[in-house]
Amino acid sequence: MSHTQRPFLLPRPFPSGGTIGLVSPAGPSPASDIERAVEVLSARGCHVVVGDHAADNAELSGYPYLAGIDEHRADDLNRFLVDPAIDLILCVRGGYGCARILDRLAPAQEIRRDPKPIVGYSDITALSLFLAAHAGIVSFSGIMATAGDGFAEGTLDPFSEASFWQAVGADGFGSVYLPPEGNASWAVHRPPMDDGDTVTGPLFPACLSLLTSLAGTPYLPDMNGAVLVIEDVHEELYAVDRMLVQLRHAGVLENLAAVLIGSFNGTTADEEARLAVGVPRLVLENTPPSVAVASGVAYGHIARRLTLPVGAVGTADLRDGTFSFDIRP
């Protein structure tokens, strides 16, 4: 399924006072929200360059869920991918649209020439998995510019922001710690077969519906031995069931090291209670006994969340749900 060999190429670290390029590869955001994100990031000492089409909307595409036409969204991203003056690419928001432009993005050798941190989550999962499968580079699943409790919003969480800068900065990832209040929801449903406390492998944090949408395409990386971290929003239990069954039939879940479960929210309180019980059960049903399973990761469509590398080799400690990486000298 993957055209690349692991380990994946690591992006260069984001320097102090570096340049951030804002792109909208998926859904639209008002120009005022993008301007607010520029203000916040500039106050952090960053130089910010906004893609020419970052504030485009449905008036150009004809679709209310797209930030302008496919060609323009791809052009902005391709420009920043190969521009050495851009030190980090930050997606404006998710929604939907990344999958439409994957076949318009730069050739792998061009992307690999100057790998830089590329950050986003939700629909940006499609872009992150593409970068792993197509170009063999590590990206990051983390907070965005204007949506999902991002930089432009009053709900920006200090822990989440700290995790963002820790992930992309010069020091890189060491240990990834839990939020200050701990992780009372952490639970191990199936320990590793060797009776140890840890699992190691390339980490793939992903929005489940976007992961599923790439099954059967050349844009899904090799998941053998991977630690898969899943989350989703506005999906009922039956839909999660359907997605996991599809992934099982496609062979994606067969040779994982572990499945770690983040948040499944955005529905009613009653449905979220069903998801809390049902998602671990469904994961156990759809994975072989060799795959460790735990839930309660601080990851997903929630305000207080980790920024995690996509494709970097890491170790998950199943005693408390922390991660450790060694991706910088």
pLDDT tens-digit readout, 139-178: 999 999 999 999 999 999 999 999 999 999 867 666 677 7
Instruction: Judge whether 161 counts as a catalytic residue.
Output: no
Q: Is residue 183 scored above 50 in pLDDT?
A: yes
Cα angle for residues 264, 270, 274 (degrees, 5° grid): 55
Q: Which amino acid is at 9?
A: L
Give the least confident one: 150-159, 231-240, 257-266, 317-326.
Answer: 317-326
Share of the chain above pLDDT 90, in %: 86
- The answer to whether 72 is a known catalytic residue is no
Flag the least confident range among 4-8, 40-44, 130-134, 227-231. 4-8
The DSSP secondary structure of 264-306, one letter per residue, reads EESS-HHHHHHHHHHHHHHHHHHS-TTSEEEE--S-SSSSS--
The whole model's pTM is what?
0.95
When the pLDDT of each residue in the chain is averaged and rounded to a whole number, the result is 93
Q: Is pLDDT above 90 for 180? A: no
Among residues 53, 72, 134, 301, the one annotated as catalytic is 301
The residue-averaged pLDDT of 246-272 equals: 97
DSSP 185: T
Catalytic pick among 2, 231, 263, 295: 231
Average pLDDT over residues 241-268: 97
Alpha-helix runs per DSSP H in the chain? 31-43, 58-61, 70-82, 98-101, 108-113, 125-130, 158-168, 208-213, 237-249, 269-286
pLDDT range class, residue 328, cuts 50, 70, 90: low
Domains and CATH numbers, the chain: 19-168 (3.40.50.10740), 175-325 (3.50.30.60)
Residues 61, 122, 139, 213: which is the catalytic one?
A: 122
89: confidence class by pLDDT, cuts 50, 70, 90: very high
| 103 contacts: CB under 8 Å, gap ≥ 6 | none
pLDDT average, residue stretch 75-80 = 98
Q: Quickly state the pLDDT bin for 6 (edges 50, 70, 90).
A: low
Q: pLDDT at position 59, please?
A: 84
Cis status, amide bond into 180, omega within 30 of 0: no
pLDDT of residue 132: 97
Over residues 64-92, mean pLDDT? 97
pLDDT score for 253: 98
- Contacts of residue 59, Cβ cutoff 8 Å, sequence gap at least 6: none
In tens, the pLDDT along 16-30 reads 999 999 999 999 999
Q: 231 an active-site residue?
A: yes
pLDDT of residue 57: 87
pLDDT for 2 equals 38
> Smallest Cα–Cα separation from 295: which of 275, 315, 313?
275
The DSSP bridge pattern shows strands 187-190 and 292-295 to be antiparallel
pLDDT greater than 90 at residue 52: yes
- Span 265-287, mean pLDDT? 98
316: Cα separation from own chain's centroid = 17
